[in-house]
Structure 1
Amino acid sequence: MTISPIAYDVQVHEYSIRVAGPDDLDSARAVMLDTVYRDFGTGYVPRWHGDIIDLHSAYVAPVRHALLVAVDERDEVVATGALDSRGPAHPPNPRWLAERYPSGETAQLRRIYVRSEHRRRGLARRMVAALLDFVAADGGYRCVYLHTDPAVPGAEDFWRSQGVAVCDEREESGQRVVHFEIPMPVTSSPVVVM
């Protein structure tokens, strides 16, 4: 018997959110790379974005990780959302933050990206809800964490609407990073696949 919280496919207006399959990985990677180049202005930085290159190893293969995509009516990937079981590392993050959110117990939300022409339609909010369903079904996480670049338009306000800022590195170290804790979802019964 295995526990599989990945039986997720929901319609949102003209979009469908699903667990990424092998045919979705290249398109998901394109959404992510476009975001780091256009929205972040950093371009691809291996130490920050290495997971984007090997999405399968980072999010698909590990049992407690997930990669979701939102597709439009043409089945084109227009948004991504991922989670893994790694807490924030020290360094570069403050030691107390790494201790508060240890790997294995922390579900870290990552790569919640929506193509600009598909924003303001609730996709990011639905992606977060779907990932929180995954967290609840897993049953082994004790907290949900993420960090964001507040210089990206709308990012800080969006995450403040989802959770609580626990560390603003602009105030502490001058870095462009805000760390958030998202409320744990209510634990649901896991989906059992035999």
Structure 2
Amino acid sequence: MHEICIRTATPDDLGGARAVMLDAVYRDFGTGYVPHWHADIIDPERFYLAPPRHTLLVAVDERDGRVAATAALDARGPAHPPNPRPLAERYPSGETAQLRRVYVRPEHRRRGLARQLVGELMEFAAADGDYRSVYLHTDPASPGAEALWRSLGTLVCDEREEGPGGGQGVLHFEIPMP
């Protein structure tokens, strides 16, 4: 296995982190960049480095210095719309640590990087002291995502079960606080 260093992102890491994130939304999700959904990808410093209760982690391949994976956490709960209203009420902003942008480059997958990054984010959330829950949503089309999140948390809403026109097909999870 390659030597990987997991650390809090610095401004010097943002170009590499942005590349990993954009690659995921184009390749894995097929949506491409959508400004309303992905503003944090273009400006991760404002969303993740500046606010004290937010963070962005990177996993850097020490062989070539490239960002191999990303994972972020912020205090913004799921917005309604597009998410179901009961989720927005259950996971309010300020009290909810939302995991975001847990993406791993294809050549680094299946090595436990996402799980390690999530572990670090969970420690960050616990150390904050004011988060009462950890929430995330994922696209089940993302390779390995559904299995990872089912192994780490509880599925609280499966929009695939809402029938035609009843949702976005997104899976919503709660991860137990450490």
- The structural deviation recorded for 1:168 is 0.5
Unpaired runs of 5+ in structure 1? Answer: 1-11, 186-194
Q: Quote the residue 1:175 is aligned against.
A: 168
- The structural deviation recorded for 1:153 is 2.3
Q: Quote the residue 1:184 is aligned against.
A: 177
The 3-state SS of whatever aligns with 2:160 is helix
Work out the number of aligned pairs and report it. Answer: 174
- The structural deviation recorded for 1:55 is 0.3
Q: Which of 37, 56, 68 lines up with 2:57 in the alignment?
A: 68
- The structural deviation recorded for 1:174 is 4.2
- The structural deviation recorded for 1:156 is 0.8
Q: Quote the residue 2:74 is aligned against.
A: 84
Asked if structure 2 preserves the Cα contact closer than 8 Å seen for 1:20 and 1:69, the reply is: yes
Q: Partner amino acid for 1:148? A: T
Q: Deviations over 1:48-85 (max 9, x none)?
A: 11110000000000000000000012221110000000
Q: Structure 1 residue 27 and structure 2 residue 16: aligned?
A: yes
1-side partners of 2:51 and 2:145: how far apart? Answer: 27
Q: RMSD of the TM alignment (CA)?
A: 1.1
Q: Which has the higher contact order (CA 8 A, sep 6+)?
A: 1
Over 3 Å counting, the alpha-carbon distance change for 1:118 and 1:33 in structure 2 is same
Q: Quote the residue 1:40 is aligned against.
A: 29
2-side partners of 1:122 and 1:57: how far apart? Answer: 28
TM-score when scaled to structure 2?
A: 0.95
Asked if structure 2 preserves the Cα contact closer than 8 Å seen for 1:164 and 1:181, the reply is: yes
1-side partners of 2:2 and 2:120: how far apart? Answer: 15
The 3-state SS of whatever aligns with 2:130 is coil
Unpaired runs of 5+ in structure 2? Answer: none
Q: Deviations over 1:135-176 (max 9, x none)?
A: 011111000000000122211111101100000011122422
The 3-state SS of whatever aligns with 1:181 is strand
